[in-house]
Structure 1
Amino acid sequence: MMAAINQGDLFVSTSVDPPLRDNRDAMEHPFLSLQKRRTKPISYVNDKVRIDVYAPEKFGIATIWDWDIIIGLASHINDAIEGGISTSPRMSFAPYNLLKTIGRGTGGKDYRELAAAIRRLRMTTVITNVRAEDGAGTERPFSWVSDYAIPTRYTTVLTPEDHQGEADPTRPWIVELPAWLYNAITRRRDILAVHPSYFDLTSGIARALYRLALGHGLARQPGVWNYRIDTLHHRLGVTSSRREFSRAVREIAAADTLPEYTIHIAKKDGHETVTFIRDRGKPPRPRRGVYRP
């Protein structure tokens, strides 16, 4: 039985339809699984960054779809800051409101999936030197959710889907974010605006490509950005072969469903290269939200 979270320093979200925000660091590096039910650890190293991500096989590594929850929480925190409201890494929210924020349904299955995603975010462990300054150079493993409290209601039979008991959507849920992530959200330069249509993307690779383009800064800078397909394959931490990955990217380019961006693939200097273009012809981000204390 999990100990109760201290109610002392608790941010209670009351924002309505907040503008969507996400953390830039998590866009630019392979912290998340792009497939569901991945148990194989993610290990990524380049000349500056080292990342290791793992989780117990029972839960699996947090996915890019699970990350929608972090986008939702970050958006509520940012909206509160915009309204001059004090926030905290420990946040209380109505699960119905969070599901609506991230474009999900609000049926029984949606609440079960929300609870399962929060568990994966809690059980996934990250070791990285990104934002090492937050730990004064000390290696400190963390999870995307430091703690949580999901109220349950009585059920006579436990099922595989509700092995912890049935989550109660009628009472507030509590999630606590780690200092690494909360600090990144509250430092305003480290969060970026997200188009709501991002939640409509069903492909993990398509979601990762959008977030990579957003994190690179194409939303703020004119021009294009080129990436070799083999480098991109490594950068996203995918488990499929490079050939399968290339085929998936070609399908995404042909469908042209990424919000705000268009991508093309062509041979350049003997290498298959993906070109990202900020597409001003696509629908802009709609205005969202009014903070109501």
Structure 2
Amino acid sequence: MICTKNTIQHGCEAIQKKDKKKHLSPKRHRQTDFFIADIFNNLTFQDDIASMEHPLFALKTGDNRVRRYEHNNFSIVIAPNPEYGMATIHDKDIWIYCISKLMQAIYEEKEISRTVHFTIYDYLITTNRGVDGRYYEKAKNALDRLRSTNITTNIETAKTREARGFGLIDAWRVVEEKDGRMVRVSVTLPDWLYRSVTSNQVLTISPDYFRLRKPLDRRIYELARKHCGSQKEWKIRLELLLKKTGSSENLREFRRSIKSLVATNELPDYNVFYNLESDLVNFTQKYKLV
């Protein structure tokens, strides 16, 4: 088949139409509501730099393999609990929410500790989830997976590196329950994550991060935000990017995922370009991030 300029153009348009709104889910909650607006206006989303760099979370629900990751001088072993399974990157939203609450308290010069108290309703609203009973149950399951997933690593936070094992959260408990549904909870974060917060080893992230449907897209956003944060662009070989994501996709499948992101241009904060000849992925800022 001979490809002319017109056929290439129509082909690209077809891809864009096919993939339209494929990566971003709609906003579930309108900020025009007084209470919802109050929740959003008082919270800037933050993620810790160490977990943005290294693949601590599974990208597939039910992926209960013991995973090992090594890069430069860092090593990580992630092991799931047989009963609850591996914590996923969607479960990480609880992490991000807790970090954001702590950073907000620091900004307001309030006393903080490793234990964060919050209502499940606020968490569901701010992370673009539904608020019916299913989502409360999903939040409980996420807390169980975070508590039971075991990490052994020498990740450095706040210039401190130590080889040790820990859960992704130390503990959680229900503070208030109504009609058999947990309403308020307390989550105790691990020491190394708390060090990241108190030493300001965090980065702001877009609220649209929570609208990304695919776990892989969330992981790619984290990497782009971490590496492109203080520079105009970031280039990385496709194969190395695949390794950094922790994805189980083969290189061909991963290339297709990247091409879809390029076609839709729906990754928050960043444009994504892919050069087939050099096999390089290039991220550039859509606008200046603070």
Class of the TM-score when normalised by the shorter of the 2 chains = 0.7 to 0.9
Q: Which consecutive residues of structure 2, in runs of 5 or more, have no partner in the other structure? A: 1-37
1:118 is paired with a residue whose SS is helix
* Partner residue of 1:195 out of 206, 209, 223: 206
Paired residue type of 2:130: G
Q: Aligned pair 1:182/2:194, yes or no?
A: yes
Label 1:274 to 1:173 Cα distance change in 2 as closer, same or farther (>3 A): same
Q: Distance in 2 between matches of 1:229 and 1:91?
A: 38
Deviation, structure 1 residue 152: 7.8
Q: Distance in 2 between matches of 1:88 and 1:278?
A: 34
Paired residues for 1:152-163 under 5 Å = none
User: Is the 2:155–2:162 contact (alpha carbons within 8 Å) kept by the matching residues of 1?
Assistant: no
TM-score, scaled relative to structure 2: 0.81
Give the whole-Å Cα distance in 2 for the aligned partners of 1:187 and 1:149.
26
**Cα distance, 1:280 vs. partner?**
2.1
* Partner Cα distance (2:181, 2:238) in 1: 42
* 1:39 paired to 2:75: no
**CA 1:225–1:153: 2 relative to 1, 3 Å:** closer
Q: Distance in 1 between matches of 2:70 and 2:115?
A: 31
Q: Which residue number corresponds to residue 150 of structure 2? A: 125
* Alpha-carbon shift at residue 237 of structure 1 (Å): 1.2
Q: Please, what is the CA RMSD of the aligned residues?
A: 2.2
Are residue 226 (structure 1) and residue 235 (structure 2) matched?
yes
Secondary structure at the counterpart of residue 78 of structure 2: strand
Q: Give the letter aligned to residue 20 of structure 1.
A: F
Aligned residues: 251
Q: What code does the residue aligned with 2:185 have?
A: W
Shift of 1:212: 0.3
Which residue does 2:285 correspond to in 1?
Answer: 278
Instruction: State the identity as a percent.
Output: 27
Correspondence 1:204 to 2:215 = yes
Which SS does the other structure have where 1:262 is aligned? Answer: strand
Superposition deviation, residue 106 in structure 1: 1.4
Judging by fraction of residues, say which structure has more helix: 2
SS at match of 2:256: helix
Which one of 64, 74, 84 corresponds to residue 99 of structure 2? Answer: 74
2:149 paired with 1:142: no
- CA deviation string 1:222-261 (max 9, x = no partner): 2x21111111111111112111111111112211111110
Is the 2:270–2:286 contact (alpha carbons within 8 Å) kept by the matching residues of 1? Answer: yes
1:168 is matched with which residue?
Answer: 182
Q: Which runs of 5+ in 1 are unaligned?
A: 1-14, 156-165, 286-293
Give TM-score, length-normalised by structure 1.
0.80
Secondary structure at the counterpart of residue 150 of structure 1: strand
Q: Which ranges of 4 or more aligned residues in structure 1 deviate by more than 3 Å?
A: 132-135, 151-155
Contact conserved, 1:152 with 1:168, CA < 8 A, in 2?
yes
Instruction: Give me the whole-angstrom Cα distance separating, in 2, the residues matched to 1:266 and 1:146.
Output: 43
Task: Give, as a single letter, the amino acid of the residue that structure 2 aligns with 1:168.
Answer: M
TM-superposed CA distance for 1:154, in Å, is 9.1
Deviation per residue, 1:138-182 (Å, 9 max, x gap): 422011110111258698xxxxxxxxxx4422xx21110000101
* Residues 1:215 and 2:226 are matched in the alignment: yes
What do residues 35-84 of structure 1 show as CA deviations (whole Å, max 9, x unaligned)? 11210122111222101111123322111111111111111110000000
Partners of 2:283 and 2:71 in 1: CA distance: 22
Question: Which residue is 2:76 aligned to?
Answer: 51
